[in-house]
Structure 1
Amino acid sequence: MKGKFISFDVGGTKVKHSVMLGDGTILEKDQYDTPVSDLEKFLMEMELIIKEYRSRHSVNGIAISMPGPINPVTGYLDSDTAGNVVCIRRRSIKTLLEEKIDLPVEVENDGNCAALAEQFNGNAQGVKDFVCVTIGTGIGGGIVVDGKVLRGKSFRGGEFGFMITNRSLPDKAIWHRNGATGSLTQNYRQSMRLDTNYRVEGQTIFRQAEQDEQSATMLDDWLTSVSCGLYNLAVTLNPEIILVGGGVSAQTDLLQKIETKLEQLEFWKDFRVPLAVCKHKNDAGMIGAVQHFLLRQGQNL
């Protein structure tokens, strides 16, 4: 489909948004803080962005990427525990927005969107079986088997963050709580006795780890958790490649550090899978959301 599309990528901290072409070309983009608990404000912010973009562009539709088990046809988020954006749980943003604007709206899980973006024109072009893991506030991802997204019976395929990766930490046993960038920054704030609202970026901790032993140990533990989750995906799905995305993937030595950890695991040599970063980094959700929109409008799901 030719034309322009407004794309939103809803995260636990920020909502990224853009106007882009169907080929993934981004014409303009920006972001704002996510209203995580106020549905009225959540919708109002989206409406304002849509109105602003439409004042400058002729738009064909609205594409949304967001966390959680989402029905890709109805846009309904069927969960009480999906991500930090509590105001959209057990609701269909597709339905709520279409009641307010005269444009079609399509919604898909953010991990699946990242996978669709990489499959379309990223680092999984021509790859039939791959896994895309997004590491951010939490951990999500997409599984592609024989060229198609594996959503699962209740649309929970790719919810990697709920894997148990460290049973020795009862309150942090699942991958969300020990391998997400959010868990790393939380540990850093606690160890440095910083206010819980103090903003810490993952790259800050990487730099700090080069200067003090406490940060280095913390980062090493986090890398162990990340590598354990990736190992589990490799031995379970045996994909052609695993792509790692999310803001932390911008760290130039991240994959090298992860691979060093993987090499220490007993059976990695038998199940070794190539690792690569996602090409589209923080734009993957927005690009993949538009690809999902085009698939839906073509009825090719």
Structure 2
Amino acid sequence: MWRASRRFITIAVACAAACGAFSSTAAQPAEAGCKPVYLTFDTGHMGVAPLIADVLKRQNVKVTFFAANERTKEGDGSLGEHWAPWWKARAAEGHEFASHTWGHDYWQRDLPGQPPKFQIKPSAGEDAGRRLQWSTAQYCESITRAAARLTSITGKKTLPLFRAPGGKTSPALLAAAESCGYKYVGWSPAGFLGDELPSGAYPNAALLKKALADIRPGDILLAHLGIWSRQDPWAPAVLEPLIVGLKQKGFCFATLREHPDFKAWITAHGG
């Protein structure tokens, strides 16, 4: 989960995301003749997760969830026992799942030397706030741990995809993840839906208007299951009007399983 920082304000003002790698998330292929978009959610404090699930079910929209074991408003973490029934219910509804690393582990920089090592700063768990030096194997373990936990909870195999917290990566980090079977998924410039930005400067009405004007076919959209810093929550207030508005403009929603940039990778890696 991102924080409302200089980076995100710059992204919103410039209308460009830091990492625009595409990915898709739907259990069903996009309808023939529609303009597909790919709605994705990263974990967060989970306070609005039940309301988001209600909207998705009511609108018959399938999404891809990228999950880390983040701190939550209630319960023992977003991948803990408290939220396990919520994830299981989403699997029964046909949503897709992928890893967001276990401890919401931010890449900070590549370290000199070979084999590659990385400076990583988790924002959740026992190492939260610490700067760690990880090998490729350690980074892969974090991705795999979240994926395995999702599979254990839901009974559904996760997609062989991952999203790095904050979209912060390097070519070496992406190569490390691919070496253990995970392809990186970012988002489209217009797909940054702004739920991490301060609500005073970026009210929900303005974010909705911008998204409806800017989103284009094929875009990957990014939102969260609760942002600690936003006082006027984006979700679910903006979510349903956004879905309805996009449908009225001829868009439909597909999962990353159907995204053309990821289909071959998913098939090749047993997804």
Q: TM-score range by the shorter chain?
A: 0.3 to 0.5
TM-score by length of 2: 0.34
TM-score by length of 1: 0.31
| Larger Cα-atom Rg | 1
Larger relative contact order (C-alpha < 8 A, sep ≥ 6)? Answer: 2
Q: Flag the structure with higher helix content.
A: 1
